Structure 1
């Protein structure tokens, strides 16, 4: 039991590092698109989220989950797309609610949404996609 939990902890730490790199890409592009170029926060959040998904897919596949179920790349990518599409919808909903209802700064809302969606993505990848 201890080694199983240690494996989960190690995997979570690796996912946290990969997620951090993905989050930096997400936040950087959101900042540029929304605060520098002037795109609406929903369009900026959607575009930056897509970049983070691409970064996360490649880094997560290589350093965290290592395609442990031996999926073909297309099936794995489609499954991750499904998980991340829901994650994108959650991200946009959280951002919109935080900005419109709670009057939270857009960058702060984006960072908070990223944190919540991070757990969604890890849990679904760990216990659904890579549960083999």
Structure 2
């Protein structure tokens, strides 16, 4: 269990704040692209996700993981792209299943998928990229 005094707790709390900012960027842009511009939800979700990943990368690197990557900046950025591409695939799969099988509204599906992908992104960045144990 996470203790409020643990490094993991504090780091998770910071990542939650950074993730919240990134999620607002993702959801706002998804809403604009899908409902206002009329893009298909897959295209809108892909575009909004990419922008939110950029926001998350810079904020997460500075405020959560404090530039403690075990690799150089180029490898770090490529790793983030690979991890978040996997996250995008999870996001799109969860959204598609929710929309097609459960008839969930695309915006609600996007919000639910974001929550699940958030856990993936934090875990893989902490464990693999920044080599910090749980």
The two structures have a TM-score, normalised by structure 2, of 0.93
CA distance in 1, matches of 2:29, 2:22: 11
CA RMSD of aligned residues (A): 1.5
CA distance in 1, matches of 2:33, 2:95: 15
CA distance in 2, matches of 1:70, 1:88: 24
CA distance in 1, matches of 2:56, 2:76: 13
Q: Assess if the C-alpha contact under 8 Å between 2:70 and 2:130 holds in 1.
A: no
Who is 2:63 aligned against?
Answer: 63
Cα shift at 1:40: 0.2
Unaligned runs of 5+ in 2: none
2:95 aligned with 1:95, yes or no?
Answer: yes
Runs of 4+ in 1 over 2 A off after TM superposition: none
Partner of 1:100, secondary structure, is helix
Who is 2:83 aligned against?
Answer: 83
Cα shift at 1:71: 2.7
Who is 2:24 aligned against?
Answer: 24
Cα shift at 1:70: 4.9
Which aligned pairs between 1:97-112 and structure 2 lie closer than 5 A?
Answer: 97-112=97-112
CA distance in 2, matches of 1:75, 1:40: 33
Partner of 1:13, secondary structure, is helix
Moved more, 32-41 or 67-76: 67-76
CA distance in 2, matches of 1:89, 1:47: 13
CA distance in 2, matches of 1:71, 1:63: 18
Cα shift at 1:72: 1.6
